[in-house]
Amino acid sequence: MQSKLPHIGTSIFTVMSQLAVKHNAINLGQGFPDFPMSAELIECVNQAMKDGGNQYAHSNGVPVLREALAEKIHYLYNSQINPETEITITPGGTYALYTAFTTIIQPGDEVIIFEPAYDSYIPNIIINGGVVVPIALNFPNYTIPWDKVKAAITPKTKAILVNTPHNPTGTVMSPEDVLVLQEIVLSNNLYLISDEVYEHLIYDDKPHETVLKYPALYKRTFIIYSFGKTYHCTGWKLGYCIAPEHLSKEFRKVHQFNVFSCDTPKQLGIANYMRNKEAYLTLGNFYQSKRDYLRSLLKDTPLTPIPSSGSYFESYSYASISNESDKLFAEKLVTDYGIATIPMSAFYHDGTDHKVIRLCFAKENKTLEAAAACLQKINL
């Protein structure tokens, strides 16, 4: 059989997690919380099952959840979204990304992405017959080189993908960034896929520059979200896509013949729980305290932080310690120091290596303390 992804191997997250298990190491590599989710949300789902919400949901998502999301969007961003025609519930954000690519890509279409990049982007584009056009973010601040974006546009360019807050770097787009992006998308008749799964995990009093604030840009955009990131339940694999009606209509054509519908009681439970606005309004402060605590624990190590303003990741340079590859350095951290991280080169198609590792701070304080104790030994 000829592989559709001949150059794609095992995910770096799987590799590092397996190493962590093998060496009984603390895992700050894969991005998931190690603390309990809301007992109230669990009870909401439990009650939905008891009340009979156990059969197929509407393919687009249970109406009460889509209505709750539309209300939330209006409350946060003063944007009017039609829950009937513009919101589709999906089994996770990555699925929504794949479906958006499948909706718009024809063989040979070019898609611009920014690296370092979440590892699903490139395979999603390739398997749909698209051509990846990677543009490296400016190191070490990971800003977008808009001059290079404009130069990369060709008659075959179909779409641009952005991610804010950004995984893996934790950077966030500014209003100026979005205005430049809007001009590029509209003047070249492109589509935009905006990965906003970390919308509530944003710090230092910075606003989230969602595409929903820009009506002209929104008309050509698929916006991707994740309940797992917001409610500490990554294993539930539930997310959603917001797109204007003409794009949602085509998105749903693909969706209905793939998964058709998502887990009914979880949708009902989340819809009920969403009345608790504080659960997402306080999320930024909660995770910022985690980020700051990890920084304080590592301040006396030779690792140098590359500041994160969003997501639950922060990157650290080890260039003052070693000149070895980041992959080798990350492996050594597992085997010699008992701590699993992710080498940043894994997020580049060509393995670009700036001597940087990524840490996840979505952990209990005791986990962060134990991880820091491992990393502090690097001084020895």
Residue 257 · residue 226 · CB < 8 Å: no
Instruction: Give the C-alpha distances (Å, rounded to integers) separating 214 from 33, 143, 158, 181.
Output: 32, 21, 20, 11
Residue type for position 208: H
Look up residue 68 and give its amino acid.
A
pLDDT of the residue at 379: 65
CATH architecture of 12-30+282-379: Alpha-Beta Complex (3.90)
Whether a cis peptide bond, with omega within 30° of 0, leads into 140 is: yes
Rounded to 5 degrees, what angle do the CA atoms 61, 62, 66 make? 75
Q: What is the residue extent of each domain of the chain? A: 12-30+282-379, 39-276
Architecture of the CATH domain 39-276? 3-Layer(aba) Sandwich (3.40)
Are the CB atoms for 174 and 312 separated by under 8 Å?
no
- In the beta sheet, which residues pair with residue 360? 313
Q: What is the pLDDT of residue 289?
A: 98
Name every residue whose Cβ is closer than 8 Å to that of residue 165 and which is 6 or more positions away in sequence.
171, 172, 198, 199, 201, 202, 208, 309, 310, 311
The pLDDT, as a whole number, for residue 2 is 87
* pTM of the entire predicted model: 0.96
pLDDT at residue number 177: 98
Say if residues 88 and 248 touch (Cβ distance below 8 Å).
Answer: yes
Residues 6+ apart with CB under 8 A from 115: 134, 135, 136, 137, 347, 348, 349, 352
Whether the Cβ atoms of residue 238 and residue 267 lie closer than 8 Å to each other: yes
Beta pairing, strands 157-163 & 191-195: parallel
Buried b (16+ CB within 10 A) or exposed e, 320-331: eeeeeebbebbb
Residues 6+ apart with CB under 8 A from 154: 110
Distance CA 54, CA 265 (A): 6
Q: Which residue has the tokens 């500014």?
A: 174
Distance CA 340, CA 107 (A): 38
Q: Are 95 and 239 in contact (CB under 8 A)?
A: yes
CB atoms within 10 A of CB 300: 10
* Closest by Cα among 198, 189, 195 to 155: 189
Q: What is the pLDDT along the chain (380 residues), one digit of tens a residue?
A: 889 888 887 777 788 888 888 888 999 988 889 999 999 999 999 999 999 999 999 999 999 999 999 999 999 999 999 999 999 999 999 999 999 999 999 999 999 999 999 999 999 999 999 999 999 999 999 999 999 999 999 999 999 999 999 999 999 999 999 999 999 999 999 999 999 999 999 999 999 999 999 999 999 999 999 999 999 999 999 999 999 999 999 999 999 999 999 999 999 999 999 999 999 999 999 999 999 999 999 999 999 999 999 999 999 999 999 999 999 999 999 999 999 999 999 999 999 999 999 999 999 999 999 999 999 998 64
Contacts of 27 (CB under 8 A, 6+ apart): 16, 17, 20, 340
What's the CA angle centered on 103, arms 237 and 196, to 5 degrees?
45
